[in-house]
Amino acid sequence: MAENKISEEIYRKACEVLPGGVSRNTVFRKPFPHYADKASGCYITDIDGTERIDFANNMASLIHGHAHPAIIKAVTEQLQKGTAYTLASEIEVAYAQLLCKRVKGFEKIRFVNSGTEAVMAMIKASRAFTGRPKIAKAEGTYHGTYDFAEVSQTSKPSNWGDINNPNSVPLVYGTPDGVLENVVIFPFNDIERTIAILDRHAGQLACVMIDPVPHRVGLIPGTNEFIEALYDWTRKNGTLLVFDEVVTFRVNYSGAQENYKVTPDITALGKIIGGGFPVGAIAGRSDIMKILDPREPNLKFPHSGTFSANPVTMTAGFTAMDLFNRDAVIKLNALTNIAVSQIKEVIRLADIPASVSGAGSMFRLHLTPAPPDTYREAYQAEETVSVINELLDYLYFNERILMINTFSCMFSTVITQKEVDILSESMLRAFRTLKPKIEKLHKK
């Protein structure tokens, strides 16, 4: 690790002031994380001078890669005018108009500061509108770091319980029992079991929350039948159907919800809509969003935020999403499909038990002959996680490729066929190098 001396020294100092030396666990790697120096397009250079192709794009948030010239220009102009005010800004209105025009179910929108905050606001809005305490969510899905949203995020065989009545499992030690009692867990894409579970809590559920292509479940899209069954159930039982599209809004021009006949009541957004800056938003039906309206005599959901809709984020987001027009979405998704096809060919050439899942401009690899259909199938034992980490390290150190630590890629519009070919060739070498360990996972 001699070539990473600067990163190693910074990490030594970091451990003196940051828990574990990091502010987010996603950037931690053993024996120490590397520190970015600069990034442009789809390339990122660490402080020790190593350049890598970035297929992670800051956990799916950089739809145009790093330092896009149009975004930099727009933000720089805004910076000269100020970064945040105790006044509204015109760009907030223009951006709201852009997003509401983009998605038919977005009648009103409220900006916040992160995906986690968006989900939190969406859950609170659902409770305020319905007057009910409980929410329902799919087992294993990630919805940020709000107590209620993170229940059963990392369920495992020792605690997930009967599939017909999954346990509500805390993520953080000390989570109050009251939180667990108010979160109902159901199996993703399993209509019969899910409806039976929801029926037991009818009249108490404020919302059924769904990520239409949940990353942690395996990056498997929700089936039309499943999503429509949830919609029909919520219509019959006075419950809201809410979508977490913080990650999946990149799937289509109007988000992953464009794939379905039904329209969610509220949608949580984040990541790409910030143009590289912290952001979140909730959007949905006017009658629901009205609970946030300060003109209401009986304001059910008082809401504010120091940096909500700050003009820097709004400017960056507006520019990014204006550039990510329908043609750009189609072009990016087409390139991603080519990448998936090439990786499937790599898997065939390497002759290993592996598969690919995904949607739009994102995909995930699995060390199984076929992608999982459920969270319990997607769950990975320690031995599998260890081999995946070795594959990721091989790609990172030997091939100069950065991926998300679930063995996933989130493409940006600045990636070209050149980078796709490098990814495919690198994966072939990685699979061939670690083939004995991959095959060992499937031997009894």
What average pLDDT does the chain have?
Answer: 96
Q: Are residues 319 and 400 in the same domain?
A: no
> Beta strands 355-359 and 134-138: pairing type?
unpaired
Q: Are residues 245 and 334 in the same domain?
A: no
For the stretch 199-257, pLDDT in tens is 999 999 999 999 999 999 999 999 999 999 999 999 999 999 999 999 999 999 999 99
Q: How many domains does the chain have?
A: 2
State which residues form the domain around 357: 35-63+325-440
Q: Are residues 79 and 191 in the same domain?
A: yes
Residue 57, pLDDT score:
97
Retrieve residue 344's tokens: 């499937």
- Is pLDDT at 45 greater than 60 in this prediction? yes
Mean pLDDT of 33-44: 96
Beta bridge partners of 365: 356
Active site amino acids: 142, 244, 271
For the stretch 122-173, pLDDT in tens is 999 999 999 999 999 999 999 999 999 999 999 999 999 999 999 999 999 9
Helix (H/G/I), strand (E/B), else coil: 365: strand
For residue 1, what pLDDT band results from cuts at 50, 70 and 90?
Answer: very low
How far is the C-alpha of 60 from the C-alpha of 53, rounded, in Å? 14
- Domain for residue 28, yes or no? no
**Distances, alpha carbon 318 to alpha carbons 21, 99, 389, in Å:** 34, 9, 36
How far is the C-alpha of 180 from the C-alpha of 154, rounded, in Å? 14
Retrieve residue 384's tokens: 């599998």
- Count helices and strands (H / E) in the chain: 15, 14
Residue that terminates a domain, selected from 275, 293, 323: 323
**Distances, alpha carbon 66 to alpha carbons 24, 41, 58, 125, 329, in Å:** 20, 5, 9, 34, 18
Residue 443, pLDDT score:
78
Q: Are residues 242 and 201 in the same domain?
A: yes
Residue whose structure tokens are 């509401």? 100
Q: Are residues 97 and 58 in the same domain?
A: no
Contact 209, 244 (CB under 8 A): yes
- Domain for residue 46, yes or no? yes
| % pLDDT > 70, the chain | 99
Find the CATH number of the domain harbouring 116.
3.40.640.10
Q: Which residue has the higher pLDDT, 158 or 26?
A: 158
Residue 4, pLDDT score:
77
Residue whose structure tokens are 């890629």? 409
Contact 282, 122 (CB under 8 A): yes
Q: Are residues 288 and 181 in the same domain?
A: yes
Max Cα distance, the chain (Å): 68
| % pLDDT > 90, the chain | 96
Retrieve residue 401's tokens: 């490729």
Q: Are residues 312 and 389 in the same domain?
A: no
Phi-psi region of 226 (alpha: psi -120 to 50; beta: other; left: phi over 0): alpha
Q: Are residues 406 and 291 in the same domain?
A: no
- Domain for residue 30, yes or no? no
Residue 444, pLDDT score:
54
- Domain for residue 8, yes or no? no
Q: Are residues 59 and 107 in the same domain?
A: no
Residue 17, pLDDT score:
96
For the stretch 68-125, pLDDT in tens is 999 999 999 999 999 999 999 999 999 999 999 999 999 999 999 999 999 999 999 9
Retrieve residue 167's tokens: 């346990």
Report which DSSP code applies to 223.
P
- Closest CA relative to residue 28, chosen from 18, 38, 37: 18
For the stretch 392-438, pLDDT in tens is 999 999 999 999 999 999 999 999 999 999 999 999 999 999 999 99
Model-level pTM? 0.95
Residue that terminates a domain, selected from 323, 355, 388: 323
- Is pLDDT at 194 greater than 90 in this prediction? yes
- Is pLDDT at 332 greater than 70 in this prediction? yes
**Distances, alpha carbon 28 to alpha carbons 7, 9, 139, 289, 407, in Å:** 12, 15, 26, 38, 15
Mean pLDDT of 8-15: 94
